[in-house]
Every structure is written in C-alpha cells, then in structure tokens.
C-alpha cells in the first residue's frame, strides 16, 4: 500500500465527507456555534473533493441543488466556517478547502498540485518554527502565516499529462 496522503490516491471519499461533517457538528456544538443548513450544505460541497473551490463554484453547486443563493450567502457561510476552523482559504487560488485538522490549533501549510488541483494540508512544526524564528529575528510579531506551495503531487509526477 502506498504511503501517499489521502488526496493523492483513490479512497472511499464519502467517508471523508461523513467524517468532516460529523467533526463539524461536534465542534460547533462544543463552541455553541450554529451549523445551520446553509452552512452545512456549503461545507458538504467543499468536501466533495480535495480541491479548493472558488466561492462562485460553490454558488453554482448550490444552484444545482436548487438553493438559489446570491454571493453574500456563500461568503457568509465561508466566513463562519473559517472562523470555526472548518475551512481554509487558499489565498493564491482565491479558493476554499475543507480543513483536515478541524478543532486542532494549527496553522497549516498547503501543497497545491497545479495539474490535478488537489491540495494537501500539512502542519509541519519545522516550517512553523522556521517562519517564527525568521520573523522573530526581525523583531516582527507574527499573527498569521500563509504557506502555499505550488507544484506537482506524486500522482501527477507519474501520469505525465502536464507541464
């Protein structure tokens, strides 16, 4: 069996979705936050894949499900989900991704495949440490850190249909 991270290999993805939604419900209950139908629906759509989706992609998916929403609806749901730590914004893509470490205190790093668009979230302590140290060396107080790596995932290195 391959040691690849989930997004990079075929797997029972409906389990990912179920797990993510279950975690979200638990987390929101614990935080007294309301995971309303709209918010849950947006989260479910985000979890349909391991790719980052744009707000307007989500809007279109909502429309397909019969939920005719306007942009603020989606952005508000995304704001909520981000505040709860259930979703990350991938700034270099203007897109959103389900968080794989919901509830844990973390500041993720993202490996973005430019071919298949799948995104893997890491929480490598060495990276956080190195960034923290470099900031401290400049007497800079870091509050939030964006680390996004663009490249090719293991699967796409082999498959060859890219460059």
Among 22, 60, 63, 142, binds a second copy (CB under 8 A): 142
Residues 6+ apart with CB under 8 A from 130: none
Q: Determine which residue in the list 80, 87, 100, 116 makes contact with DNA, applying CB under 7 A.
A: 80
Please, what is the Cα angle at 152 between 148 and 156, to 5 degrees?
Answer: 145
Whole-number Å distance between alpha carbons of 116 and 25? 30
Site string for a second copy, 63-92 (x = CB under 8 A): ----------------------------xx
Residue closer to a second copy (CB basis): 22 or 134: 134
Based on the shown chain and the rule CB under 8 A, indicate whether residue 136 belongs to the binding site for a second copy: no
Phi, psi dihedral angles at 85 (to 5 degrees): 75, 25
Q: Which is nearer to a second copy, 71 or 151 (CB)?
A: 151
Instruction: Show the site string, 97-126: x = touches DNA by CB under 7 A, - = not.
Output: ------------------------------
Residue whose C-alpha is closest to residue 98's, from 146, 134, 58: 58
Check if the beta carbon of residue 55 is closer than 8 Å to that of residue 71: yes
Binding of residue 33 to DNA (CB under 7 A) = yes
Residue 23: partners with Cβ closer than 8 Å, 6 or more residues away: 86, 102, 103
What is the binding site for a second copy (CB under 8 A)? Answer: 4-5, 8, 91-92, 109, 111, 113-114, 120, 122, 124, 126-127, 129-131, 133-135, 137-154, 157
């Amino acid at each position: 069996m391959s040691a690849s991270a989930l997004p990079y290999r075929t797997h029972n993805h409906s389990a990912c979705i179920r797990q993510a939604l279950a975690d979200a419900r638990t987390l929101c209950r614990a935080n007294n936050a309301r995971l309303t139908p709209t918010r849950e629906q947006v989260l479910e759509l985000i979890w349909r894949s391991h790719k980052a989706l744009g707000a307007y992609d989500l809007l279109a998916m909502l429309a397909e499900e019969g939920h005719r929403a306007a942009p603020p609806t989606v952005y508000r749901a995304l704001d909520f989900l981000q505040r709860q730590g259930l979703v990350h914004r991938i700034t270099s893509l203007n897109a959103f991704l389900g968080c794989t470490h919901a509830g844990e205190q973390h500041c993720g790093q993202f490996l973005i495949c430019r071919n298949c668009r799948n995104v893997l979230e890491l929480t490598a302590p060495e990276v956080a440490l190195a960034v923290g140290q470099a900031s401290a060396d400049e007497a800079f107080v870091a509050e939030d850190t964006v680390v996004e790596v663009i490249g090719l995932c293991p699967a796409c290195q082999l498959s060859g249909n890219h460059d």
